[in-house]
Structure 1
Amino acid sequence: MKKILIVDDEFDMRQLLRLYLQQESYLVEDAEDGRKACDKIEKDDFDLIILDVMMPIMDGWKTLKNIRGISEVPVIMLTAKGSVQDKVTGLTIGADDYLVKPFDEAELMARVKALLRRAQSNFKNDEVLKYKGLVLNLSAREVTYQGSIIHLTQTEFDLLRVFIEHMGKVLTREQLVELIWGIEFMGEDRTVDSHIKNLREKLKAAGIDHSLVKTVWGIGYKVE
C-alpha cells in the first residue's frame, strides 16, 4: 500500500485530503507544519507528499528545499496562488506537480495516481541507459556521471530518460507532457520549461556541457 504524507497547517484541509486518499485505500499521515514534515520524512519512507505553500513556522517553499536535501520523493504543491510565477517557483525548487486551491477531488486523485504510477513503472524497469559518460540506472533511479551521482527529482530523471530514449528526435512540449505525466495531465505544457531549466543546471554543475539538451526554437527540445 502506498503511503502519502499531507503537510498543511489547516486541520480541516488535512482531514479533507485524508478522506479523499483513504477512500482510495492509501495509507495517510499528516503534519501541520514544515518542520514536523521534515522530521517524519527523515524517519520514514513515503511514496508521495502533498505540500501546502502558505504555512507558518516554515512555508512550503522552504519545506520543499529541505525535503529535496534528504529525499527525491514526488511532491505535489498545493497553493492558493494561481500566478505563473508561483508555479514556476515551486517547479524550480523541485516540485513534481502543483494544484491551485480550491481544487476538484477528481483532479487531485488523477495527479496523485499519475505520479505514483510513474514511480512504480520506473521501479520495475531494470535497464541501464548510457550516454556520453552519463549512466541512468532505471530501477535505482540513479544518475551518475564519471562515477559521481547527480541528484535529480523524479521529473528531472524522467525527462533525461525520455530524451536519451528518443535520442536525435525533436520532442515538443506536448509530447514530453504525454510521455512523462500522461494524457490526463491538467497543467500547462510550459511546466516542461521549468523542469528542463533545472535539469540543465544540475547537469552543468556536474561538469556536463549545458547544451546537452538542445532547444529547437519554435518546436521543442532534443538530445543529439
Structure 2
Amino acid sequence: MMKILVVDDEKEMRQLLKIYLQQENYQVEEAADGSEAYQKILKNDYDLMILDVMMPLMDGWETIEQVRKVSDLPIILLTAKGAIEDKVQGLSTGADDYLVKPFDAAELIVRVKALLRRAKKANDSDEWLKYKGITLNLAERSVMYEGQMINLTQTEFDLLEMFLSHRGKVFSREQLVELIWGMEFTGDDRTVDSHIKNLREKLHAFGIDKSFVKTVWGIGYKVE
C-alpha cells in the first residue's frame, strides 16, 4: 500500500485529504507543520507528500528546501495562491507539482496517481545512461558527473533521462508535459520552463554548460 504524508496546519484540510486518499486505498499519515513533516521523513519512508504553503513554524517553501537535502520524495504543493509567480517559486524550490485551493477531489487523485506512476516506472528500471561525463543510474535514480553526485528532484531526473535517452530529438513543451506528467495534466506548460531552468542551474553548478540542454526557439528543448 502506497504511503502518503499530508502536511497542513488546518486539521479540517488534513482530514478532507485523508478521506479522498483513503478512498483510493492509500495509507495516509499527517503532520501539522513543516517541522513535524521533516522529522517524520527522517524516520519513515513515504511514497509522496502533499504539502501546504502557508503554515506556522516552517512554511512550505522552507519545508521543501529541508526535505530536498535528504530525499527526492515526490511533492505536490498545495496552495491557496493561484498567481503564476507562486507556482514558479514552488517548482523552483523543488516541488514536482502544485494544486491550487479550492481543488477538485478528482484532480487531486489524478495528480497523485500520475506522480506515483512515474516513480514506480523509474524504480522498475535497472538501466544506466552515460553521456559526456554524466551517469544516470535509473534503478537508484541517481546522477553522477565526473564522480560527483548531483541531487535532482524526480521531475528534473525524468527530464534529464528523457533528453539523454533521445539525444538530438527536439521535444516541445506539450510533448514533455505528456511524457513526464501524463495526458491528464491540467497545469500550465510553462511549468516545463521552470523545471528546465532548475535542471540547467544544478548541472551548471558542477561545471556543465547551461547550453547542454538547448533551447530550440519556437519549438522546445533538446540535448545534442
Q: Structure 1: which 4+ aligned runs deviate by more than 3 Å?
A: none
TM superposition shift of 1:207: 1.3
- Residue aligning to 2:97: 97
- Residue aligning to 1:160: 160
2:69 is paired with a residue of what secondary structure? helix
Q: Deviations over 1:109-135 (max 9, x none)?
A: 000000000000110011101110101
- 1:1-224 aligned at under 5 Å gives the runs 1-224=1-224
AA of the residue aligned to 2:176: L
TM superposition shift of 1:88: 0.2
TM superposition shift of 1:210: 1.5
TM superposition shift of 1:148: 1.1
Q: Could you tell me the TM-score, scaled by structure 1's length? A: 0.99
Q: Equivalents in 2 of 1:209, 1:87: separation in Å? A: 26
TM superposition shift of 1:30: 0.5
TM superposition shift of 1:70: 1.2
1:40 is paired with a residue of what secondary structure? helix
Percent of matched pairs sharing the same residue: 69
Using the TM superposition, name which of 202-211 and 99-108 deviates more. 202-211
AA of the residue aligned to 1:17: L
AA of the residue aligned to 2:111: R
Matched length: 224
AA of the residue aligned to 1:102: P
Q: Equivalents in 1 of 2:86, 2:221: separation in Å? A: 24
Q: Equivalents in 2 of 1:81, 1:71: separation in Å? A: 26
Q: Equivalents in 1 of 2:205, 2:56: separation in Å? A: 33
TM superposition shift of 1:146: 0.8
Q: Could you tell me the TM-score, scaled by structure 2's length? A: 0.99
Unaligned runs of 5+ in 2: none
